[in-house]
């Protein structure tokens, strides 16, 4: 039996599962102060005989396994969690090995293993919700370097009709500050699901997201791009983003995937729907030695 946590900005998904990726039991708790959240996590896993725990977490978080601060949150906009040693605390509380990666990295991994990227060797998973993050899976591994990718905080060109100042507490008008769920609500005065019929909202949203995807294609050249998260449940976004990406690339990257005929199979929703993150956290444990 293995344990998995998808640690998000608004909720923690907790689950147990097996070494072929099946989820056995799952529950959802709100993301509160660590003093409230950690005891609920421990209560869920206590007595379930899990042998190790995988965590896919919001960030920034230290995912360098050789670091003394491995599994510690960094300068996160979720201020209650800044510099909280998540992996160490749960390792001590549960007495088992703990593996950590970002929520979007593990989602990319699970989509490559069981979802909409099983037929390619490289993919990008982007979540657009409370924040914006992206994870990359390349030839069996998630992308890591100095830290993990922070693709949600790249700079984007402002839409000609947009006067919104941005809402990222760190950068203001970065991609997350202009195109996350909170950005939509602050710009338009309503949540995204209440604006579903307003074409102007989604044309502007697609403009920002397509800029990001175009840059990721230039830099990382993934063979599949998967768009998840609460905002992407507005399915009308997909054709708008695809059209904008083709226009912005302007034929510069030569690939059969980047054509009007194939773009629908290149930029896609998650095959695992809302379970990409929690299954990815579980996959961190699979094949991991004790």
pLDDT digits (tens, 9 = 90+) for 226-276: 999 999 999 999 999 999 999 999 999 999 999 999 999 999 999 999 899
- Average per-residue pLDDT for the chain: 94
Which residue in 71, 74, 134 sits closest to 106, CA to CA?
134
pLDDT digits (tens, 9 = 90+) for 72-118: 999 887 889 999 999 999 999 999 999 999 999 999 999 999 999 99
**Mean pLDDT along residues 144-173:** 91
Yes or no: say if 175 and 132 are a contact pair by the CB < 8 Å rule. yes
Cα 85 to chain centroid, rounded: 20
pLDDT recorded at residue 90? 98
pLDDT recorded at residue 75? 85
Q: What is the pTM of this model?
A: 0.91
Radius of gyration for the chain, computed over Cα atoms and rounded to the nearest angstrom: 19
Q: Please tell me the distance from the alpha carbon of residue 125 to that of residue 112, in angstroms, as a whole number.
A: 10
- Residue 160 reports pLDDT greater than 60: yes
> Confidence band (pLDDT; 50, 70, 90) for 12?
very high
| Strand ranges across the sheet with 267-268 | 141-142, 132-138, 122-128, 225-228, 267-268
């Amino acid at each position: 039996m293995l344990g998995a946590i998808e640690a998000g900005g608004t909720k923690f998904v907790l689950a147990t599962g097996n070494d072929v990726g099946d989820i056995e039991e799952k529950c959802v708790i709100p993301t509160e102060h660590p003093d409230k959240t950690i005891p609920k996590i421990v209560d869920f896993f206590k007595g379930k005989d899990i042998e190790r725990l995988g965590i896919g977490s919001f960030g920034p978080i230290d995912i360098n396994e050789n670091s003394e601060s491995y599994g510690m949150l960094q300068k996160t906009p979720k201020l209650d969690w800044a510099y909280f040693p998540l992996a160490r605390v749960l390792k001590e509380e549960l007495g088992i090995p703990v593996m950590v990666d970002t929520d979007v990295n593990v989602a990319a991994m699970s989509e490559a293993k069981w979802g909409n990227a099983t037929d390619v060797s490289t993919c990008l998973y982007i979540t657009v919700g409370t924040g914006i993050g992206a994870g990359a899976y390349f030839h069996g591994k998630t992308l890591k370097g100095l830290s993990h990718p922070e693709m949600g905080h790249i700079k984007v060109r402002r839409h000609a009709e947009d006067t919104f100042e941005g809402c990222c507490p760190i950068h203001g008008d970065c991609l997350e500050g202009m195109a996350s769920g909170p950005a939509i609500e602050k710009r338009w005065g309503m949540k995204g699901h209440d604006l579903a019929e307003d074409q102007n909202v989604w044309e502007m949203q697609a403009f920002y997201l397509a800029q990001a995807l175009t840059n990721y294609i230039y830099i990382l050249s993934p063979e599949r791009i998967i768009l998840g998260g609460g905002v992407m449940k507005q399915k009308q976004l997909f054709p708008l983003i695809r059209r904008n990406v083709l226009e912005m690339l302007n034929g510069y990257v030569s690939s059969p995937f980047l054509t009007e005929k194939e773009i629908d199979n290149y930029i896609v929703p998650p095959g695992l729907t809302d379970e990409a993150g929690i299954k990815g956290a579980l996959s961190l444990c699979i094949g991991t030695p004790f």
